[in-house]
A = this chain, B = another copy of it.
């Protein structure tokens, strides 16, 4: 495995591999099985697997959250190598945002205004779109692998990549979960045992809604089921939205996305589940 810290070195390392298929897994490090699922998906489909590790300051609206974000580079490099990553791109902030950096990639409209956009503010998705554009252009992979847990991020990145014509396909990998159902997240490490037990209401609420959706197609009724399961948690949002437009649904007709964000103690957790069309298997 080769680790590089500059875009120039990354391009040099990748140049001889361009005859084959290149896959990239963008991460903020602190790798867990969710990231490794992305690596395994890339490994299964690509000749060369690139991982990027960059804790992007511009997508943190809260300086304390950025400060607290776990950085475990040696652990990450060992896991990446053990799981078949060929090249790790580990840029510093000065490589990504050198002096005089002045460009922002913005995705306008509902998909960045609702849910995470409403809670975290508009700058969050500007930060995401800009850094992902720059990382994808640095790698110029054939496929980029993103986790389904960050559902809105996937929608925004997919829109940005299509709009600008970045020549990389976005592949979405199902959310990895612990045995108890909690979606894997670097933030889970901050939960106390008691908080973690309470956090399990999140996957239970999603499962209850998904389960009820086979007989109940009214969004308000489904949300009431979910809210009952989440009782006692600090719920930032629980919504049933169109999986592409992220607009609120009142009745489930096509596919639907159930999205939830909660705070458990000092830790913010998000999760989601997709409900297939009624006629889907």
Contacts and interface: CB of A to CB of B under 8 A. Distances in A.
Interface residues of A, number: 27
A107 interface: yes
B100 A108 contact: no
A268 B104 CA distance: 29
A63 interface: no
A10 to B, nearest CB: 10
Contacts of A101: 163
B159 A100 contact: yes
B105 A109 contact: no
A138 interface: yes
Copies in the complex: 2
Contact of A106 (B11, B104, B164): B104
A24 interface: no
Nearest to A129: B103
29 contacts: A7-B165, A11-B167, A100-B159, A101-B163, A102-B107, A102-B109, A102-B111, A102-B159, A102-B163, A103-B105, A103-B106, A103-B107, A103-B159, A103-B160, A103-B163, A103-B164, A104-B105, A104-B106, A104-B108, A105-B106, A106-B106, A130-B164, A133-B164, A134-B165, A137-B137, A137-B164, A137-B165, A137-B167, A140-B167
Interface of A: 7, 11, 100-109, 111, 129-130, 133-134, 137-138, 140, 159-160, 163-167
Task: Please give me the 8 A-B residue pairs with the lowest Cβ-Cβ distance, nearest first.
Answer: A103-B163, A102-B109, A102-B108, A137-B165, A104-B106, A103-B160, A102-B107, A101-B163
Given A102-B107, A102-B163, 5 more contacts: A11-B167, A104-B106, A130-B164, A138-B165, A140-B167
